[in-house]
Each structure stands twice: as C-alpha cells, then as structure tokens.
Amino acid sequence: MSGIYIHVPFCRKKCSYCDFHFSTSFSSYRSQMIAAISDELKERLIELSDTEPQTIYFGGGTPSILEKEELKALIQPIFDKYPQEQFLEITLEANPEDITKESLVNWKELGINRLSIGIQSFKESDLIWMNRAHTLEESRKCVDLAKKAGFSSISLDLIYGLPELTLNEWRQHIDEIISLDISHISAYCLTVEKGTLLEKKVRNKIIQIPNEDFIIEQYKLLVSKLDNVDIEQYEISNFAKKGCQSIHNSNYWSGQKFIGVGPSAHSFDGKTRRWNIANNAIYLKRSAWYEEEYLTDNERWNEYILTRLRTTKGINTEELKNLFEIDNQFLLTKEECIKQNWLIEENNCIRLTQEGQLRADYIASEFVKL
C-alpha cells in the first residue's frame, strides 16, 4: 500500500488565515509548472515500485483551478504505469466556485472519485473576512451538483473557533452539514498562522479570537452531534460514516509510504523524509529544490507517536514494543497522562480521551524524544 500526493501551488485569492504554499499570480508560468510537476511524477514513481499505490490526492493550493487537460497531464503518468482500477481513492480538493456541471463531468472522466470541498463556514460575513473566492450560495449549491454528477464520496471542510461565531451559529453550521448528507467531514480549529493577514489583524486587535473554553465547547458540540447521526470521529479533525474514512489520510497516519510531488510536497518511505522547496521559482529551476533526511531512531519514534496519537485507534503498544525499545520515560509519561484522564489504555492500545484530544499537541510533545 502506498499513496501519491500532488500539490498544485495556485490559488485564486489569498485566504486571510492560510499559510499553505500557493501563489495567486501564476498565469505566466502555469503551463511550465504543470509540466514540471508531471516530470517529477514520471521520475519518482519508481520509488513506489516495491508497493502497490492505492490512492492519489490532489491537494493545494487549489487543484480545482486546473483545466481538464492540465489535470490529465498530472494523472496520466500514473495510469501509464499502474492500472486505474488499482486506485481505490482519487481525491481532488475542490473549491466551491470551481464546481460546475462541466467540471464535475471532467473530473469523473479523469477517474477522480472523491471530492474534498472547502466550505469553511456557512456564514456569509465569515467568507468575506476570510477572503474566500466563493459565496454562501455557491457553497450550498455545489454539494447538490456534485451528488447529481454521481460523486458519492464527498468530504466537506469546516473551521470552528472563528471570531464572532456564536455557539448557536456553530450548532446551525453542524446541522446544515449534517443535512447535506455527505460521507466525510474535516473540521479544523482556526489556527492563527504566522505571517497571515489574520495574524496581523489579531495582533492589532481588529479581530479577536474566542477564548479556549468557548472553542472547547464548540469542539465537544461537534463531536457529540456528529456521533448522534453515526458520523464517527476517527482522527481529531476527521469524521466519517462507516466505511467512508479517507484511505489516503488513514494510510498516512498508519505510516504507509507515500510520495509527494510539486512545490512544498512532503514524502515519506518509513526511513527517509523529503521536502520539496515551498518556492515556485526554485522548484521550476530544479536546483537545490528539495531536502532529504534519513530519520534517526528518535525521529522515527517521534514520527510514529505523532501520526498515530491523533487517531481514535491510537497507538498499538504491541507494535510499539516490536519496533522500538520502550524506556522508563515513556512508561512514566503514559501513566501520568492516564492519571490526568488524557489517555486510556485498553486492548493493547493507548488512545486519547476527549480531554486528551483537546491537548493533543501538548501530550504528543511530552512523548517526543530529542
């Protein structure tokens, strides 16, 4: 099992909260970039020769900006090497403004069978301060269009902890997402990322972020309301109907091999980590355009703990013992976290309780080996 991630570094607008890698002024080198990513893919598929890739994930940036022929240039090298039927899941991150009857037909024809749509909020004024390129009406329409075009695997992205979002509004957002009857939801807590317009506005007190207790209340409401309608949490930010968990992301969290192509994309093969440079011009020149690092034992341990801890399956302690030497520090940290009701240990697994999920980054940092 393995996966292929393709990063498309273009966006129509710069969302005020986002620090992912993208450019909004790419028309002069658009075709060059597609050719370069396609070339990287052709060169690097060999790295997967000891595995059977099962998933393709177009992320970004905004891959739904691309024309059919551009997407084809990125997917065809994969189908030239592997039969299309081998791929259980081919996801495209799609922004609501790009979802039309025509684009949906094109995506289907290319073999895309899963859409991850960035809704973010069901409040028009949020979409404005976020500088999103779509209206609320487009967000509402696109899910229906996608279903009518035959997409049964649809995931929607939402953000909570938004400034001025009341608990009642958040409840309505959750109800609206439930009423859309889709199979998967990713809900992220708003993070104020360095260098974003949001950060500047928070610093200058133009925008105020809600306090932690209120954010926790929103998170708990989300988990319980989704649970009531059998949309199960399987990772801190990810929820799915039975059998509809993202295969690509689940493989990533269980440490499977993947290659990532395109500027800023990461790759991992169990032993080595690679980062492509998050700079379009340098990526195109192909000189000093990636870094690679052979993981030390401590880094392998950290990678293992960090990816698994966020999932509801948690860490399998038998597997952990087989792969690593368990030291006293780990046992002490584990016992302390269990005492605090942050971790639970059962059936050879340790996993976060809901209280633990609210402090996942802190708990993970306690297990990290430097």
Ligand X SMILES: C[S@@+](CC[C@H](N)C(=O)[O-])C[C@H]1O[C@@H](n2cnc3c(N)ncnc32)[C@H](O)[C@@H]1O
Residue numbers at the binding site for ligand SF4 (CB under 6 A)? 11, 14-15, 18, 20, 22, 60-62, 95, 118
Nearer CB in complex with ligand X: 36/198: 198
Residues in region 64-103 near ligand X by CB under 6 A: 93, 95
Nearer CB in complex with ligand X: 48/90: 90
Nearer CB in complex with ligand SF4: 62/302: 62
Token output for 131: 């500088």
Binding to ligand X by CB under 6 A, coded x per residue (else -) over 167-206, reads ---------------------x-xx-x-------------
Pairing of strands 343-346, 349-352: antiparallel
20 binds ligand X (CB under 6 A): yes
Closest CA to 210 of 166, 275, 254: 166
With CB under 6 A as the rule, give the number of residues binding ligand X: 15
Continuous segment of H or E residues that includes residue 273: strand 272-276
Nearer CB in complex with ligand SF4: 15/149: 15
Contacts of 253 (CB under 8 A, 6+ apart): 235, 307, 308, 310, 311
Q: State how far Cα 360 lies from the chain centre.
A: 17
17 binds ligand X (CB under 6 A): yes
Closest CA to 363 of 309, 301, 303, 297: 309
Binding to ligand X by CB under 6 A, coded x per residue (else -) over 33-52, reads --------------------
Cα–Cα dist 355/64, whole Å: 37
Q: How far is the CB of 131 from ligand X (least distance, A)?
A: 11
Question: What residue type is assigned to position 75 of the chain?
Answer: I
Question: Starting at the edge strand that comes first in sequence, how are the strands of the sheet with 315-316 ordered?
Answer: 315-316, 349-352, 343-346
Q: State how far Cα 259 lies from the chain centre.
A: 15
Q: How far is the CB of 239 from ligand X (least distance, A)?
A: 14
Nearer CB in complex with ligand SF4: 93/235: 93
Contacts of 346 (CB under 8 A, 6+ apart): none
Q: Which residue is nearest to ligand X (CB)?
A: 118
Q: How far is the CB of 158 from ligand SF4 (least distance, A)?
A: 12
DSSP string, 184-215: EEEEEE----TTSHHHHHHHTTSS-PPPHHHH
218 binds ligand X (CB under 6 A): no
214 binds ligand X (CB under 6 A): no
Closest CA to 331 of 319, 347, 345, 341: 345
Q: How far is the CB of 61 from ligand X (least distance, A)?
A: 6
Q: How far is the CB of 334 from ligand X (least distance, A)?
A: 29
Nearer CB in complex with ligand SF4: 15/261: 15
Q: How far is the CB of 60 from ligand SF4 (least distance, A)?
A: 5
Q: For residue 361, how many other CB atoms are within 10 A of its CB?
A: 11
Among ligand SF4, ligand X, none, the one that 14 touches (CB under a kind-dependent 5 to 8 A) is: ligand SF4
Q: How far is the CB of 22 from ligand SF4 (least distance, A)?
A: 5
Among ligand SF4, ligand X, none, the one that 157 touches (CB under a kind-dependent 5 to 8 A) is: ligand X
Q: Is 271 exposed, middle or buried (0-12, 13-18, 19+ CB in 10 A)?
A: exposed
Query: Which residues are near ligand X by CB under 6 A?
Result: 17-18, 20, 60, 62, 93, 95, 118, 120, 157, 159, 188, 190-191, 193
